[in-house]
Amino acid sequence: MIETEVPSLDENDDTSEMSSPNFVYEDQNHKELPEIGTTSTPVNLAYDTPTHRQPTPSKFVFLSDQKSVPTDLKKLQERTIKRRRDFVARMHDLDLHTARLMSKYAEERMDLDLATCDTFERCCIHPLETSIERLAIDREASTSRSLGISTLERRVGRLDAQMTHHIHVTMSDAKIDKLDSIQDDLRQNIASEIRIENSKYNKIEGGIVQRFELSTGNICKKFHSEGATRRAAIELLRRKIDNAIPKRVEKAEITLSNIANLRVQLSEERATRIAADKAILADIVNKTATLQRAMIAIASDGDSSRQF
């Protein structure tokens, strides 16, 4: 009887690590490799292209640029890949164990065939040959041996019956007891283990797909909500700009009109000042001329008085 040792499968797989789909965004400057389609905004690059110039800061900083989303998604992918590798390794071990069982089964069958041949030769052929040799010896030794032919035939018939019983009963019972039980154990154990592994794999894959869909939905929801927020902010800024431009134009027009008025007033003031300066200059010139004439007259009167 072959002792079947089925490799124990670890049913306590850590599926609880996948139960928390806390997926968030991550900055695009993250340099770690993702995995199926770990994504940051939405996909992280496996490497960054080297550049020598500093990136130009953007006016609008999205909230998703400041979150570390793909870390959990990357961990989930790594755990999934690890579980898949463990599953493949367990299936490989199960295949090896099945191959060992089949080799043991083949060896057992070969041993059983050898034992059958040996038993057949020992119980049937060898006694038959011995009886034939003995019959030949007896026939050569005595002519009265013909009386024992019926006895020899009965012995041959008994040997034939024993051989038939051994082949169809003993060997069949041995086959049922050993080979069929081994085959049944192999079918039941391997089929149940394969079903268990398949159900585990389907459960893990379903959980991964469900969490991926949930994370994708959350990412899409956040993306659309953040896009709506940004569009609303841009629309509000545009309205402020549209409201501020006419006021600035009006203020500029008022300022230009004030400047024009100041220029007119300045030109009028300049003309008035020039006229006043001309009048003052003419008055000074007149007074200077009058003073000169008076001084000349005084000087001429002094000279005339000295002559007299």
What was the pLDDT predicted at 141? 63
Q: Check residues 201 and 29 and name the one with the higher pLDDT.
A: 201
pLDDT band at 12 (very low <50, low <70, confident <90, very high): very low
Q: Is the pLDDT of residue 29 over 60?
A: no
pLDDT in tens, 33-67: 344 444 333 333 333 444 444 445 444 444 444 44
Q: Is the pLDDT of residue 28 over 50?
A: no
Q: What is the mean pLDDT of residues 82-89?
A: 89
Q: Is the pLDDT of residue 11 over 50?
A: no
How far is Cα 183 from Cα 123, in angstroms, rounded to an integer?
Answer: 29
Least-confidence region, from 89-93, 186-190, 255-259? 186-190
Q: Check residues 67 and 139 and name the one with the higher pLDDT.
A: 139
How far is Cα 43 from Cα 70, in angstroms, rounded to an integer?
Answer: 8
What tokens appear for 230 in the block? Answer: 């940004």
For tokens 């086959």, name the residue: 175
CA dihedral 77, 83, 85, 88 (to 10 degrees): -140
Q: What is the mean pLDDT of residues 153-173?
A: 80
Q: Is the pLDDT of residue 70 over 80?
A: no
Q: Is the pLDDT of residue 308 over 60?
A: no
Q: What is the mean pLDDT of residues 63-82?
A: 70
Q: Check residues 3 and 159 and name the one with the higher pLDDT.
A: 159
55 by Cβ neighbours in 10 Å (0-12 / 13-18 / 19+) ranks as: exposed
CA distances from 308 to 169, 295, 302 (A): 196, 20, 10
How far is Cα 140 from Cα 137, in angstroms, rounded to an integer?
Answer: 5
Q: Answer yes or no: are the C-beta atoms of 103 and 182 closer than 8 Å.
A: no
What was the pLDDT predicted at 144? 53
pLDDT in tens, 208-235: 888 888 888 899 999 999 989 999 999 9
What was the pLDDT predicted at 36? 40
How far is Cα 270 from Cα 272, in angstroms, rounded to an integer?
Answer: 5
Q: Is the pLDDT of residue 100 over 80?
A: yes
What was the pLDDT predicted at 244? 82
Q: What is the mean pLDDT of residues 261-281?
A: 91
What was the pLDDT predicted at 37? 40
What was the pLDDT predicted at 159? 82
